[in-house]
């Protein structure tokens, strides 16, 4: 969702930004994936096990976090079950997964008019957002470039931490211009 929000900000307030990085972004039309559907329907039957499943699916290699996944799920479950968190989530996604996806889509002309240098990053094995979304954006945003991480899930910043941070740094330092 962060990538979709960023695209809308770039489109609506271009003078506030010089460059931006998107990670596994929405912003392109697509059919709901199993991952997004399970995530957006989490509150239909919330449980620590359901949250643990989602956290596991954010990673291509869940063994990277090992036993920490259970403690992460337990900590996050306490937070997501707070009434104010649930209320905000349900207000944002009350119309279902497809409507939620469509709310982030920008038209081709809106994407063509984004004047910023953009680095789009995506994981090849992302369970939540299809890689084709990033290609859709790459083909329409004039100054966009794309880096695809292999053997990686949606949490690129965790699974490919060093490579991701290095890429972001050289992008913002102007070494990818």
> In the structure, what pLDDT confidence band is assigned to residue 28 with cuts at 50, 70 and 90?
very high
pLDDT digits (tens, 9 = 90+) for 101-160: 888 999 999 999 999 999 999 999 999 999 999 999 999 999 999 999 999 999 999 999
Domain assignment of residue 138, given as a range: 2-172
Q: Is residue 93 part of a domain?
A: yes
Q: Is residue 21 part of a domain?
A: yes
Q: Which residues contact 56 (CB under 8 A, 6 or more apart)?
A: 62, 69
Q: Is residue 166 part of a domain?
A: yes
Helix (H, G, I), strand (E, B) or coil at 56: helix
Q: Is residue 177 part of a domain?
A: no
> Is the C-alpha dihedral spanning 99, 104, 105, 106 positive or negative?
positive
Q: Is residue 168 part of a domain?
A: yes
CATH of the domain at 141: 3.40.50.1820
The pTM of this model reads: 0.91
Helix (H, G, I), strand (E, B) or coil at 122: strand
Q: Which residues contact 139 (CB under 8 A, 6 or more apart)?
A: none
Q: Is residue 8 part of a domain?
A: yes
pLDDT digits (tens, 9 = 90+) for 38-49: 988 888 899 999
Structural domain count, the chain: 1
């Amino acid at each position: 969702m962060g990538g979709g929000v960023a695209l809308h900000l770039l489109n609506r307030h271009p003078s506030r930004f010089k460059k931006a990085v998107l990670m596994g972004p929405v912003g392109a039309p697509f059919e709901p994936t199993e991952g997004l559907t399970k995530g957006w329907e989490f509150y239909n039957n919330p449980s620590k096990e359901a949250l643990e499943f989602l956290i596991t699916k954010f990673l291509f290699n869940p063994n990277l976090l090992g036993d920490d996944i259970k403690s992460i799920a337990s900590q996050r479950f306490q937070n997501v079950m707070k009434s104010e968190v649930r209320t905000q989530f349900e207000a944002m996604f009350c119309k279902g997964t497809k409507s939620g996806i469509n709310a982030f889509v920008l038209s081709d002309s809106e994407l063509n008019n984004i004047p910023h240098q953009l680095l789009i990053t995506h994981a090849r094995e992302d369970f939540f957002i299809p890689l084709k979304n990033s290609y859709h954006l790459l083909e329409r945003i004039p100054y966009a470039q794309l880096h695809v991480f292999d053997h990686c899930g949606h949490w690129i910043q965790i699974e490919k931490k060093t490579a991701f941070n290095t890429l972001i740094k050289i992008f913002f330092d102007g070494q990818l211009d």
